[in-house]
Structure 1
Amino acid sequence: MDKKDLNENEHLENNGTTEELNASENENLEAIEDTTPSPATEELQDTPEPLVTDIEESVPVMSKVGEPTPPAPPSASSRSNKGWMIASIVLAAVLIIVLIKPPFQTDDSKAAVASVNGTDITKQQLYDKLVEAGGETTLQSLITTTLVDQEAKKANITVTDADVTAEIEDLKTQFGGEAALNSALEQSSMTIDDLKKQMPLQVQIRKILEPQVKITDADIKTYYDTNKATYNTEEEVRASHILVATKEEADAILKQLKDGADFAALAKEKSSDTGSKDNGGDLDFFKRSDMDPDFSDAAFKLKVGETSGAVKSQYGYHIIKVTDHKDAHNYTMEEKKADITKALISQKVSELSATWLQDLTTKSKITNTLTDAKAADASAAPDASADPAAAEATEAPAK
């Protein structure tokens, strides 16, 4: 993709772009290690400062400048508007399998699962280590999932493939596109398939709590007024280009195009911009400020379907073909009302879910063999803060 910000040191900022209503910015997804994995308390980490990396020979000659991040919405909890939609990934599939089964029976616990130079590693040893590595967190996650499943059944709530797809698409929008979401997932060692596995729980919670959410016109107006600047879009064009080193090469390509040659085919064959040539020279949509000024001036003068002559920039000579155009637009509150309502509902559900899950856990009868024993031991232990003299008097034999 052709972009402007290639400096003299041949370094490139790795900035992303955000969509409208992306109040929470492009934030990293993180695996939550809380013992109570309430989706409402899961926030996306702040994106770290862009890394500056050396340009390899195989990267595009030009590159888009990252767009500014829109201001955050008014609510203090808005950064987690979509954080609640991402449940923590459990430690490992094998850990789940182990924990959902009761501890090994006596005659089975000594069965070997591995052997090292004749020394057996037993099933019981494996179980103990898996529990030690994160069993309490994983079991609590399973308990929470079971509680939500039970409440969803009571409310006759079901989750379809379409529901999961809709949630994923909504997340793509919130993160500023599929590439931005995938990047955030990669930074948390997750894949889109991992995310899809978490979605049914989030859909259930949303469907259970949404009826309790009331969004007023005043709420919508406040949100719109606070984020109005993010709804203003600049003029954009979509263009393809062929980049060569000399004007002679550019003129020769222009002659081939005039004689009926295919633009995309010539871009794949002759363009030196490795970031776009394989896509037939397509650069996708860009704003004026995204590109080299000479390149932008030429591109924005063209009508859709028109091809430029040889355009000189700091990178060489370009032949530019404009394939689409978007006018600048300032969205009104009415135009964005549905999107704002959706964002506010997500925010409210996020706020409600923590308390709801806590109340649900409190009023439910739950047996947790991994934590109950610890709680019993703790309650039986002497109070270390008690008066030592009183303790001695208590323990002294009767006379």
Structure 2
Amino acid sequence: MRCIEVKRILYTGIIAILTLSMTGCSGKIIATVKGIDITNEQFEKTLQIVSSTRNYMDSEYVEDMEKSLGKKYKKNLENTVLSFMIDNELLYQEAKDKKLIPSSEVINSKYEELEKIINSNPTYKKEIDKVGLNKEYLLKQISKDLAIEKNKNNFEEKINISEKDILDYYEKNKSKFKINEVEASHILISTLDKNKKQVKEDEKKKLKEKTENLLHKINNGESFEELANKYSDDKSAGKNGGKLGYFSKNEKNAEFTNEAFKLQKGQISKVVETSYGYHIIKVTDKKEILKNLNDSKDDIKKLILNEKYINHIEELNKNADIKR
């Protein structure tokens, strides 16, 4: 069976839209799925998108993928991405057969939502622009993604998961419900204007320099808490010395948590940029907790459905005419 952790990264959030197999490109054919070609150009662009996006999502997915793929990560990643593209083509063809194609209104609405997400982070937008994703391409891929999503929902609606199924899964997989948390403080120098829009690049440069000067002061012995109270644009946390309390990876901006979870207790980060501005992060504690059964029920249902869906994808692969 293909790696479940990799499925998670490639079917999660913005990745699901941006890494769909790309039709209409020329180039050497590297796979054919029930008569539909996947070219080397499509494949290379998909790899680019995965690389560009990895820093703007929960890095735990990427870490899981790297661990599961082992030492030959790059080559195995290439094989996994190609398998993903094949899977998506199979699922899209299945959705078309079931007439689960979304309306133009739904597609356009999703495009507007995606555009806002991309534009909210100028650094990320630059990375995506390098790949060459235009509106026509994105609309086509959103249409495919929504059709696949409808097909997945249709599949899951037919599956009944009992309380016993949930209890058995929890007892056999308790390690999956252990959550790492950090206790951290931060200093935020905002790069947003009064309308919540990013300031111009020359102003951002000055704000970054301001943040770097604050970090220099901290590294030279000045109090993190006093500087947070005086300078942080997060006034709520700033008045308490920048304290954010305990949080897990999925509770805050992924760029922020990616850095926070790398730090050891007592460590202070470099300057970290997010869509909110520039941060200095101080980790004051780290712990692991086990979610109880009741709090884990929704997660367990999703995990069971995900595993059954992946088994379904495997069956599609076994029964399809695929050349690679």
Quickly name the TM-score band, shorter chain normalised: 0.3 to 0.5
Structure with greater proportional helix content = 2
Q: Based on CA coordinates, which of the two structures has the bigger radius of gyration?
A: 1
- Give the structure-2-normalised TM-score: 0.39
